[in-house]
């Protein structure tokens, strides 16, 4: 009934939409943060910084 191209198109749209929404949410959260806070990696320096997370979810 529906070919694989249709499902791939739907899945691609869902993934793009969720990544785009995450990117917008992260930009909103980090708006106005100091560079020190953006680069902070936790007490023991073993977590991802906010800037790393932003780079990971960047959507062109």
Helix (H) or strand (E) holding 3: none
The verdict on pTM exceeding 0.85 is: no
What are residue 38's phi and psi, to 5 degrees? Answer: -65, -40
Q: Looking at the 3D structure of the chain, how many domains does it have?
A: 1
Which residues of the chain, if any, have pLDDT below 50? 59-60
Closest CA to 59 of 13, 8, 22, 14: 22
**What residues make up the domain containing 40?**
4-56
What are residue 44's phi and psi, to 5 degrees? Answer: -100, 15
User: Are 50 and 40 in contact, with CB atoms under 8 Å apart?
Assistant: yes
pLDDT in tens, 45-57: 888 777 676 665 5
């Amino acid at each position: 009934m529906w070919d694989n191209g249709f499902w791939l198109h739907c899945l691609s749209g869902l993934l793009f939409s969720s990544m785009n929404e995450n990117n917008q949410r992260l930009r909103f959260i980090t708006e106005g943060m100091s560079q020190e806070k953006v680069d902070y990696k936790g007490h023991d320096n073993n977590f991802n910084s906010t800037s790393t997370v932003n780079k990971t979810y960047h959507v062109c």
